[in-house]
Amino acid sequence: MNKTHSRFSFRPQRGLSLIEVLIALMLGVFLLGGVIQIFIINRQTYRTQENLSRLQEDGRFALDLLNRYVRLAGYLSSETVYSTRYYDQKCEDRIDNVFGQRVYYKGSVPTMPPLAGTNNDSGDAKYKSDTISAAFQSPRKPTTTAGVTDLRLPDCLGNSVGQAGAARDTLANNRFYIATNPATQRLALYCDPVHSDGTDPTAQPLLDGVENMQVRYGRKMAGGNRAYLSANQVTNMREIDTIQVRLLMSTADEINTQPQPYTFDTDDNGIDETITPTDRRSRRVFTSTIALRNTLGCTQ
């Protein structure tokens, strides 16, 4: 009987040696470590880009908000726009019967000027920030909505200014300053609005990460030149026609490997200082020059 032979010759299988197993494990660990390293680098790159993008967006938002309300400084509604002015062209000390009215403000009874500011008295304990206040007049709420457009303007927190049935159109003063947000323990841009009808909305943080705000006030000088002054150097706010705002913004996360020095004019003297922070956040300075449409400086 013929024996049939398989075309395949079967050989007994042998296992892997210990050295081969160790080499395979070492190669696997090496490859896995490379994959993990790539993942960490990509994640850090994404985190950095996300923080810087958010910083840029927050800076634009903060400047846009300040531009919007500072430009409203001195705006008068149709009730008084043709009959009342808060200064004349000779800068005489004339008290306006709209912005000179007294209003309740945090326990005191000051006047509500179209524009006001203080120098280095808010925010961080070491690097103080300026404050700026801008007031405008808003029409009253219509007593009936039938065919009537509600022309009220919002304050910096979005509250409509002016109640129905009020004796006159309402003034609103928006005060911007820097303070620590207790919810996040970060410095933030705050707004504290006050309405002349007696409403006093609670101050609220608008944006975290605004570490410092410096405001300088532009005034035309003899010969057509313009000088920018700090708030304590301004003797007559009615002469101011432009505002220069500088914001120091920081990222939400610590994205640097070590503290990164930055330059900023912390003492409001027009000269930047170099500062080395104690954290590893990135910082950027955002600047805007705002023309005062309603309070363009009077002449000497």
pLDDT tens sequence across 168-218:
788 899 999 999 999 999 999 999 999 888 788 999 999 999 999 999 999
Please give the Cα distance from 216 to 231 (Å, whole number): 7
Answer with the residue of higher pLDDT: 142 or 89: 142
Average pLDDT over residues 7-32: 73
Check residue 1 and report its DSSP letter.
-
**Highest mean pLDDT: which range of 43-52, 84-93, 113-122, 184-193:** 184-193
Please give the Cα distance from 194 to 192 (Å, whole number): 7
3-state secondary structure 244-285: EEEEEEECCCCCCCCCCCEEECCCCCCCCEEECCCCCCCEEE
Please give the Cα distance from 287 to 270 (Å, whole number): 13
Please give the Cα distance from 236 to 220 (Å, whole number): 12
pLDDT tens sequence across 209-240:
999 999 999 988 877 788 899 999 998 888 88
The tokens 């985190």 sit on which residue?
Answer: 47
This prediction has a pTM of 0.81
pLDDT tens sequence across 70-90:
999 988 887 665 444 444 445
CA dihedral 280, 121, 241, 196 (to 10 degrees): 120
Average pLDDT over residues 52-71: 94
Percent with pLDDT over 70 in the chain:
82
